[in-house]
Amino acid sequence: MNIRQFLESEVSRALVAAGAPEGTQAMVRTSARANFGDYQANGVMGAAKKLGKNPRELAENVIRQLSLADVAEKIEIAGPGFINIFLKPEWMQQQLQQWITDPRVGVPKADKSKTIVIDYSSPNLAKEMHVGHLRSTIIGDSVTRAFEFLGHKVVRQNHVGDWGTQFGMLIAYMERLAAENPDAVSMELSDLETFYRDAKKSFDEDSEFAEVAREYVVKLQSGDEHCKKLWEKFIDISLNHSEEIYHRLNVSLTRDNVMAESAYNDDLPNVIKLLDEKGLLTDDQGAKVVFLDEFKTKDGEPMGVIIQKKDGGFLYSTTDLAAIRYRCHTLHADRVLYYVDARQAQHFEQVFSICKKAGFSTPRCSLEHHAFGMMLGDDGKPFKTRAGGVVKLAELLDEAEDRAATLIAQKSPNLDEEQKVDVIRAVAMGAIKYADLSKNRTSDYIFNWDNMLAFDGNTAPYILYAYTRVKSIFRKAGVQPEELSGELMVTAPEERTLAMKLMQFHETLDVMVAEGQPHLLCGYLYDVAGTFMTFYEACPVNKAGVEEATKQSRLLFCALVANTLKAGLDVLGIDTVEQM
Ligand code: ARG
């Protein structure tokens, strides 16, 4: 239980003891201002209204029922009946002292581990990964890491698009190139974008080729060995491309996490059969359709979702229905989270709704589309190359490294070569990831190199720098954090603020995974770094005249700050460096 939850349960208990009905919520929140205490309970007013009592009187009664003597130094009533809770420095000290050598900085593993299926990245394999895949990949991966950090079981599902008519064209083209010159194939496939374009060109201009391509789609779908081999080769090469990107970005996806669209093929006829048995299917001019009352067309008619086309072909939605069956009934998910852009919102609402009606999902399982907005250029339009083309992720990462190299050459000319390589990589990848993660995912955001590489503000370089700053304090003091022995003392107001921040890591992570919102963690780490800078200014460590016990205590704070920043950045999938 994090601190907020602990206070919530304690104040709720007191509310009930003071006469509020069973189940009344204390509504404890972190206080907006220091004079309102560290936490504030807002639930008294509502409860008093229901009971027909004076809220301030009820609040007094609640306070009498509280047993927080060890935890709180002061509990006050404010305004119409808010309860402000000021935590005790001694209690903070006790908590923090236990966490000094704990890399998890006091965050326990969940008592009840849940199974969370996370569908992210999921590119279509016909083309190379481009900026459109960045947000899903980065946000999904950091939420994945947060769940794992909290002790939950995560099943990563990279639902790659490896099926569909364009693959007929691609494998036919691959075969044709090989017939002309086997070496040309691997050459061309090293650039999937060009390969796709050339294949498409042949398809559009050469009717004989188009005929073969169409034949190959049918053959592939009916399990023809030759076509399947070609297709497997293509998919393998395309997945290698994605894996290179994952590796560069420090994204935790591997081959084992690929659960492609094609993996559900065999189950699709079954999906149709089950929907039919439930009476959900309607024949609409030869196509099989589910009509949903809760979605209306422009004319106010129930909206139809096509599950099987007239020619027998299945659709993107059909595969998603099968995937939910698998995730709920085979993987036994408690939650299935989809990191897919906002334009697919209706697709998911419809698929989720059909699954509920058909029993493809289970009552215990929550299906959630965690939508995100678009990545925009400085002009506020979708992010494109200067020529107006899609930006390949590989090229974006190259540019980040070039820019970081220039920046680090100016900022830290004294690093040795090996350190430099690490710092450039950490800053480059960190900047791209952090710029994305630090924004509320539901809105669009402007991708701007200068902003994300700035050393001030809520950026990766700022947080990475703060971390190295703490590390340098230890170097200067000539001790390792593990060697510290003294007692942590919360005395100065800056120490109190820092102590409170450090204690809120757990609740920040809890909210982040509940909402699938990494920007909450970014905001938190930014606050930790800022609070630390203020603390360090007021409470120097290595200055002459600082007493030994004080120095030890301050170093303990530094150790906690370093561990929190490191653990937090780890959850975001961002590497730290010791010096920069
Ligand atoms: N491949 C899809 C695309 O690029 C995203 C897949 C998302 N996941 C899913 N289960 N539909 O648009």
Query: Best substitution site from 117, 118, 159 to test ligand 1's pocket, by max atoms within 8 Å of Cβ?
Result: 159
Mind listing the domains of the chain with CATH numbers?
3-87 (3.30.1360.70), 166-259 (no CATH), 394-572 (1.10.730.10)
Give the pLDDT of residue 182.
Answer: 80
Report the alpha-carbon distance of residue 373 to residue 369 in Å, rounded.
13
Residue range 244-259, pLDDT digits in tens = 999 999 999 999 999 9
pLDDT digits (tens, 9 = 90+) for 502-556: 999 999 999 999 999 999 999 999 999 999 999 999 999 999 999 999 999 999 9
Residue that the structure tokens 């000094």 belong to:
100
Given a cut of 80, is residue 186 above it in pLDDT?
no
| ipTM of model | 0.99
How much of the chain exceeds pLDDT 90, in percent?
88
Ligand 1 center from residue 337 Cα (angstroms): 12
Compute the distance from residue 79 Cα to the ligand 1 centre, in Å.
50
Give the mutation target among 118, 122, 258, 348 for probing the ligand 1 site: most ligand atoms within 8 A of CB.
122
Average pLDDT score over residue span 316-326: 97
* Predicted pLDDT of residue 509: 98
> Which pLDDT belongs to residue 68?
95
Residue of 319, 341, 344, 351 to mutate, ligand 1, most atoms within 8 A of C-beta? 344
> If pLDDT is split at 50, 70 and 90, which confidence band does 390 have?
confident
Cα–Cα distance between 498 and 532 in angstroms, integer? 7
For 24-53, the pLDDT digits (tens) are 999 999 998 888 999 999 999 999 999 999
SS3 376: strand
Q: Does the pLDDT at position 187 exceed 80? A: no
| Ligand 1 atom having least distance to the Cα of 160 | 1
Region 325-344 average pLDDT: 97
- Rounded to an integer, what distance in angstroms lies between the CA atom of residue 107 and that of residue 149? 9
Q: Find the 432 Cα to ligand 1 centroid distance in Å.
A: 22
Largest Cα–Cα distance of the chain, in whole Å?
A: 89
Kindly state the tokens that stand for 13. 């208990």
* pLDDT band per the 50, 70, 90 thresholds, residue 185: confident
User: What pLDDT is recorded for position 504?
Assistant: 97
CA of 338 to the centre of ligand 1 (A): 9
| 392 closest CA partner among 192, 136, 196, 130 | 130
> What pLDDT is stored for residue 385 in this prediction?
84
Query: What confidence score (pLDDT) does residue 192 get?
Result: 86
Among 166-175, 348-357, 561-570, name the one with the lowest average pLDDT: 166-175
Bridge partner list, 372: 341
Mean pLDDT of 190-219: 92
Q: Coil, strand, or helix at residue 292?
A: strand
Confidence band for 313, pLDDT divided at 50, 70 and 90: confident
Distance CA 500, CA 520 (A): 17
386: pLDDT confidence band, cut at 50, 70 and 90? confident
% of residues, the chain, pLDDT over 70? 100
- Find tokens 């996490």 and name the residue: 257
Tell me the pLDDT tens digit for each residue of 44-80: 999 999 999 999 999 999 999 999 999 999 999 999 9
Query: Quick one: pLDDT at residue 184?
Result: 79
